[in-house]
């Protein structure tokens, strides 16, 4: 056993990352229209360690989170990363926060006044800080074309688009959601006009990428479009430095 132990130490196979995950926590996030909105986050906090980690320090992650009382904006996000790195004497700190973001849409009386989107902030701090924003947009399409205006149209769940942005500066979640939904609508309309092709994961991926490339405040993005099927799904991915 001892020899293996020495071998292991020689190979430097010490613990690489350690932390806590899936903390359910009520948070407030910035809202373009209402200034702040209340939601619930699932939080992961972990660090890269320079040497063997003592187990008793696990509670420090939660202590740090408690100090911010769930008020999460970009500034507090950065502060949490700094404090994790210091308090846990880590080489790098990581913070991930996934939450439902609610967006008011007052278009029609019959519809829900709030739509929800799964969003995440993903940050890390080593020598420099890296901050990413992830949004998941459902793609819902009309199922059967009807010529009769005003009649209810059946709609179906075609699939979804997952977008991950590396942020240089602040971006409103609302602006990002509306940009992507606009790109989906454009792609769908152009199909309806030309009339001779069906929506494909590849064409929608390119359509959304063209819109994202115009977004300021972003240094890089990746994108995954998925068409949910019955027996299996199809997907396409793309990434791009802006």
Minimum distance between the CB of residue 207 and a copy of itself, rounded to whole angstroms? 10
Binding mask 163-182 for a copy of itself (x = CB under 8 A): --------------------
DSSP letter string over 162-186? EEEEEESS---HHHHHHHHHHHHHH
241 binds a copy of itself (CB under 8 A): yes
Largest CA distance in the chain: 79
Minimum distance between the CB of residue 154 and a copy of itself, rounded to whole angstroms? 3
Size of the site for a copy of itself (CB under 8 A): 98
How many residues in total does the chain contain?
Answer: 242
143 binds a copy of itself (CB under 8 A): yes
Q: Between residues 51 and 170, which has the closer beta carbon with respect to a copy of itself?
A: 51
51 binds a copy of itself (CB under 8 A): no
Binders in 95-134 for a copy of itself, by CB under 8 A: 100, 102, 109-116
Q: Between residues 23 and 171, which has the closer beta carbon with respect to a copy of itself?
A: 23
Binders in 21-50 for a copy of itself, by CB under 8 A: 21-26, 37-40, 43, 46
Long-range contact set of residues 196-205: C-beta below 8 Å, sequence gap at least 24: 199/141, 199/158, 199/227, 200/227, 201/159, 201/225, 201/226, 201/227, 201/234, 201/235, 201/236, 202/236, 204/139, 204/161, 205/236, 205/237, 205/238
Minimum distance between the CB of residue 158 and a copy of itself, rounded to whole angstroms? 4
Binders in 181-240 for a copy of itself, by CB under 8 A: 191-192, 195-203, 205-206, 209-210, 213-214, 226-240
CB 16 within 8 A of CB 53: no
d(CA 208, CA 135): 13
In terms of phi and psi (left: phi > 0; alpha: psi -120 to 50; beta: otherwise), the region of 185 is alpha
Nearest one of 98, 95, 96 to 41, comparing CA atoms: 98
Q: Between residues 46 and 121, which has the closer beta carbon with respect to a copy of itself?
A: 46
d(CA 59, CA 44): 13
Q: Between residues 52 and 75, which has the closer beta carbon with respect to a copy of itself?
A: 52
Residue selected from 32, 140, 170, 175 as contacting a copy of itself according to rule CB under 8 A: 140
């Amino acid at each position: 056993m001892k020899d293996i132990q020495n071998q292991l130490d020689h190979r430097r196979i010490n613990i690489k990352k350690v932390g806590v995950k899936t903390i359910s926590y009520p948070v407030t996030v910035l809202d373009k229209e209402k200034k702040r909105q209340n939601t619930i986050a699932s939080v992961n906090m972990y660090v890269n360690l320079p040497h063997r980690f003592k187990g008793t320090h696990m509670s420090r992650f939660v202590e740090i989170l408690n100090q911010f009382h769930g008020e999460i904006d970009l500034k507090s996000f950065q502060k949490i990363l700094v404090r994790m790195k210091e308090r846990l004497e880590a080489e790098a700190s990581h913070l991930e926060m996934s939450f439902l973001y609610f967006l008011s849409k007052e278009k029609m009386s019959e519809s829900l006044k709030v739509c929800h989107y799964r969003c995440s902030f993903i940050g890390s701090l080593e020598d420099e800080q890296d901050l990413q924003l992830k949004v998941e947009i459902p793609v819902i399409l009309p199922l059967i074309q009807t010529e009769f205006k005003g009649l209810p149209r059946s709609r179906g769940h075609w699939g979804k688009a997952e977008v991950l942005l590396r942020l240089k500066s602040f971006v409103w979640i609302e602006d990002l959601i509306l940009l992507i939904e606009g790109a989906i609508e454009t792609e769908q309309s152009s199909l309806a006009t030309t009339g001779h092709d069906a929506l494909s994961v590849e064409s929608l991926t390119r359509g959304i990428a063209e819109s994202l490339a115009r977004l300021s405040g972003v240094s890089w993005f990746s994108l995954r479009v998925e068409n949910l099927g019955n027996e299996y799904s199809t997907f396409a991915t793309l990434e791009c430095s802006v």
